């Protein structure tokens, strides 16, 4: 376990704006920083960071907290992983006890998959550099590609031996479970046989933005026509191809610093560009560009330069997906290489300065590039030209900025030799149709949130709502805090038609971690001083001990807190809350699962506190009649949107508390 001293040093040293700045592009907004949500796809920034308070808030998803909770939410780290990540970032030595075999066995499933992936990366890298087969086959290939030893080490490149089960045997011998070798796709398991997926391939580790190994790409070196040239890890709990960009870990700082991202197609394109000194480059790994990948880049910069080789057929197919970039409000340029060249080959024979000069002279605005390309295809065919013009206007309609749309319409009019009025009319029709669909959806959502009040229902008993909810949280921690249970989360994903939809997903968490994250989302501190003291003590205890033993825990508590804990536990069977539903407090009791019970308790407390914030903001507006209240009104609307999210998550409409 990590020592208290280390945890305290991390919290004292880590700056929330620096930590989040590695993942999200932030801009100054008064005393705060603002950026696009890293959790949902949005065009207007609703993600706020307060350097003064050292907290963050995402009004789109409702999430929030400090630097540690950001890493837990964004990178799906456990609490200890987040502490270790920050300790490494700020060069803080981590003091901890040695993990036993039992501790390792208790690691959750995702962590086990990360661990086996990291072991695999080290194994393949060692095989490349230290074995005769690896040197003769894998290392020779990389040297032929012009990769230096430093480059090979930087990207953790490797080699998987030609033997059918060399890696699988080694991993099993080191104590890694076959279950996780199978789930990560590193091994293929068929009945009583298991063998290596990447046998006889050079290996490219695929890392997350924080540097964790998610999966692998393997290139075959033989001329076997039956085998795929490149083979990727299959989809898993830790690897989702559509949400990953190869090279993002090594490129993120350069992208943010230079305010531009070069987008290429393959692994070797990225590596060769890095070796040439161009580090702000990532690859889509041969897949069609997805909204999740675009959002990864958009967190760091609004500017993308797409690098294409001279293959015209591939070019036409690739540019279709770039409308998604325009729709995200980003600025897109396109640069093509001479015939026969791709980013890999061109970077290999071109100096750093000449590369930059080539990009500067040959990168064209995407709209201009697409218009020129389509007009070449039309080849004076009036019907085809009409279709291509419509295609161009569809692309322009994706751009959210009105001024940019008008500039591009004028440019297209010039390139395509067609009247601006015709183009503007076509654009207006497309936008009108889209606005109509958005308006219809908004009205349906508002209807779902209409508050239905029953004026005849009056509370019969005055209840201190916040006290009872905080009491219930302490009770849950004492009864279930160390248990790992299933929680239902709502995530945004893309369906086959490219629409963003909400999907329910079951995830396992320790109850105390779930409560800690949830309270941090709205900077919630328990108001009752006794509950607050017990809560802080409990969270520290759970983080330092794998198992919760009540007798040992009570021995560590001061007498007054120990008495209160005993009372709370003894009252567990009693009806603590009266007339909750009358006061719009919905917490399931005996008929609910632990996950439901925890979620509804937390959401209800957050809803209650957010409503109090709204009332305070409204009072501020009424008391400052002469001042500009636009920023306060914006905050009120943002918090009202949060109450809508709470209602959806609870599956019922909540009325305002009075």
Given a contact cutoff of 8 angstroms between Cβ atoms, the answer to whether 259 and 335 are in contact is: no
Count of domains observed in the chain: 4
Same domain for 229 and 347: no
Q: Give 598-656 pLDDT, tens digit per residue.
A: 888 888 888 888 888 888 877 776 665 545 566 677 777 777 777 777 777 766 544 44
Same domain for 267 and 356: yes
Q: For position 131, what pLDDT does the model report?
A: 96
Q: For position 132, what pLDDT does the model report?
A: 96
Same domain for 533 and 622: yes
Whether the model clears a pTM of 0.85, i.e. scores above it, the answer is no
Task: Quote the CA–CA distance of 624 and 527 in Å, as a whole number.
Answer: 28
Q: Give 25-72 pLDDT, tens digit per residue.
A: 898 888 788 888 888 777 788 888 888 778 888 887 777 778 888 888
Residue 457 has pLDDT above 50, yes or no: no
Task: Quote the CA–CA distance of 417 and 410 in Å, as a whole number.
Answer: 10
Q: Where does the pLDDT of residue 591 fall: very low under 50, low under 70, confident under 90, or very high at 90 and above?
A: very low
Q: Give 317-349 pLDDT, tens digit per residue.
A: 566 667 888 888 889 999 988 888 889 999 999
Q: Give the sign of the dihedral formed by CA 392, CA 243, CA 119, CA 85.
A: positive
Tokens 């700045």, residue located: 21
Range picked from 140-154, 298-312, 605-619 for highest mean pLDDT:
140-154
Residues above pLDDT 90, as percent of the chain: 27
Q: For position 176, what pLDDT does the model report?
A: 93
The CATH number for 176's domain is 3.90.980.10
The CATH number for 67's domain is 3.90.580.10
Q: For position 580, what pLDDT does the model report?
A: 42
Task: Quote the CA–CA distance of 20 and 300 in Å, as a whole number.
Answer: 11
Q: Is residue 503 part of a domain?
A: yes
Identify the domain boundary among 218, 237, 256.
237
Q: Is residue 431 part of a domain?
A: no
Same domain for 315 and 261: yes
Same domain for 483 and 368: no
Q: Where does the pLDDT of residue 442 fall: very low under 50, low under 70, confident under 90, or very high at 90 and above?
A: very low
Same domain for 605 and 483: yes
Task: Quote the CA–CA distance of 554 and 532 in Å, as a whole number.
Answer: 16
Q: Where does the pLDDT of residue 184 fall: very low under 50, low under 70, confident under 90, or very high at 90 and above?
A: very high
Same domain for 329 and 183: no
Same domain for 265 and 224: no
**Domain range spanning residue 34?**
4-89
Same domain for 479 and 416: no
Q: Is residue 430 part of a domain?
A: no
Identify the domain boundary among 59, 89, 119.
89
Q: For position 406, what pLDDT does the model report?
A: 87
Q: Which residue has the higher pLDDT, 154 or 596?
A: 154
Same domain for 254 and 232: no
211 token code pair:
């540097």
Identify the domain boundary among 399, 425, 451.
425
Mean pLDDT of the chain: 80
Q: For position 499, what pLDDT does the model report?
A: 60
Q: How large is the average pLDDT for residues 508-532?
A: 83
Q: Where does the pLDDT of residue 579 fall: very low under 50, low under 70, confident under 90, or very high at 90 and above?
A: very low
Task: Quote the CA–CA distance of 571 and 550 in Å, as a whole number.
Answer: 16
Q: Where does the pLDDT of residue 313 fall: very low under 50, low under 70, confident under 90, or very high at 90 and above?
A: low
Same domain for 621 and 502: yes
Residue 140 has pLDDT above 50, yes or no: yes
Residue 491 has pLDDT above 80, yes or no: no
**Range name among 479-488, 557-566, 571-580, 641-650 with the lowest pLDDT average:** 571-580
Q: Is residue 550 part of a domain?
A: yes
Q: For position 354, what pLDDT does the model report?
A: 94
Q: Shortest CA distance to 155 belongs to which of 29, 19, 24, 273?
A: 273
Same domain for 644 and 616: yes
Q: Is residue 344 part of a domain?
A: yes
HEC sequence for 14-73 = CCHHHHHHCCCCCEEECCEEEECCCCCCCCCCCEEEECCCCEEEECCCCCEECHHHHHHH
């Amino acid at each position: 376990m990590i020592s208290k001293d280390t945890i305290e040093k991390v919290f004292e040293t880590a700056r929330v704006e620096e930590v989040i700045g590695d993942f999200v592009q932030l801009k100054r907004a008064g005393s705060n920083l603002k950026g696009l949500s890293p959790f949902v796809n949005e065009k207007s920034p609703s993600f706020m960071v307060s350097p003064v308070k050292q907290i963050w808030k995402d009004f789109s998803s409702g999430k929030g907290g400090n630097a540690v909770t950001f890493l837990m939410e964004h990178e799906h780290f456990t609490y200890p992983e987040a502490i270790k990540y920050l300790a490494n970032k700020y060069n803080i030595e981590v003091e901890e006890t040695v993990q036993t075999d039992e501790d390792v066995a208790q690691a959750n499933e995702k962590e086990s998959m990360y661990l086996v992936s990291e072991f695999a990366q080290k194994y393949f890298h060692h095989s490349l550099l230290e074995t005769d087969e690896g040197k003769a086959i894998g290392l020779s290939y990389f040297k032929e590609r012009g990769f230096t030893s430093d480059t090979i080490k930087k990207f953790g490149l490797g080699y998987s031996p030609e033997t059918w089960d060399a890696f699988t045997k080694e991993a099993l011998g080191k104590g890694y479970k076959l279950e996780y070798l199978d789930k990560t796709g590193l091994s293929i398991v068929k009945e009583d046989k298991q063998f290596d997926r990447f046998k006889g391939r050079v290996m490219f580790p695929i890392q997350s933005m924080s540097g964790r190994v998610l999966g692998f790409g393997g290139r075959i070196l033989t001329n076997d026509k039956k085998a795929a040239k490149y083979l990727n890890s299959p989809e898993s709990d830790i690897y989702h191809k559509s949400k990953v960009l190869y090279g993002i870990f090594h490129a993120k700082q350069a992208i943010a610093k230079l305010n531009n991202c070069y987008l290429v197609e393959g692994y070797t394109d990225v590596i060769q560009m890095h070796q040439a000194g161009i580090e702000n480059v990532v690859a889509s790994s041969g897949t069609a560009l997805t909204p999740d990948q675009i959002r990864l880049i958009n967190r760091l910069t609004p500017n993308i330069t797409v690098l294409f080789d001279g293959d015209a057929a591939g070019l036409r197919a690739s540019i279709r997906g770039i409308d998604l970039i325009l729709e995200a409000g980003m600025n897109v340029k396109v640069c093509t290489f001479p015939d026969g060249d791709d980013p890999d080959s061109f970077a290999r024979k071109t100096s750093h300065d000449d590369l930059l000069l080539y990009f500067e002279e040959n990168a064209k605005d995407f709209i201009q590039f697409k218009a020129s390309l389509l007009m070449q295809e039309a080849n004076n065919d009036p019907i085809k030209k009409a279709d291509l013009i419509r295609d161009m206007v569809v692309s322009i309609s994706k751009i959210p900025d009105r001024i940019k749309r008008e500039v591009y319409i004028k440019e297209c009019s010039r390139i395509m030799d067609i009247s601006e009025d015709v183009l503007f009319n076509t654009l207006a029709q497309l936008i009108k149709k889209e606005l109509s669909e958005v308006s219809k959806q908004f009205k349906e959502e508002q209807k779902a949130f209409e508050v239905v009040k029953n004026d005849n229902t009056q509370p019969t008993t005055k209840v201190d709502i916040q006290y009872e909810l905080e009491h219930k949280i302490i009770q849950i921690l004492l009864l279930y805090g160390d248990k790992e249970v299933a929680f239902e989360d709502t995530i945004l994903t893309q369906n086959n038609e490219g629409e963003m939809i909400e999907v329910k997903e079951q995830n396992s968490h320790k109850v105390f971690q779930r409560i800690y994250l949830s309270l941090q989302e709205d900077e919630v501190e328990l108001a009752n001083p006794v509950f607050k003291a017990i809560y802080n003590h409990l969270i520290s205890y759970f983080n330092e001990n794998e198992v919760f033993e009540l007798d040992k825990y009570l021995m560590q508590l001061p007498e007054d807190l120990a008495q209160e804990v005993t009372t709370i536990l003894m009252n567990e069977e009693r009806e603590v809350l009266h007339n909750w539903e009358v006061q719009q407090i919905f917490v399931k009791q005996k008929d609910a699962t632990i996950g439901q019970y925890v979620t509804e308790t937390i959401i209800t407390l957050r809803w209650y506190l957010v409503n109090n914030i709204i009332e305070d903001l409204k009072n501020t507006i009424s008391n400052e009649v002469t001042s500009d209240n636009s920023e306060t009104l914006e905050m009120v609307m943002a918090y009202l949107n949060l109450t809508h999210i709470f209602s959806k998550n609870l599956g019922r409409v909540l009325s305002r508390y009075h």
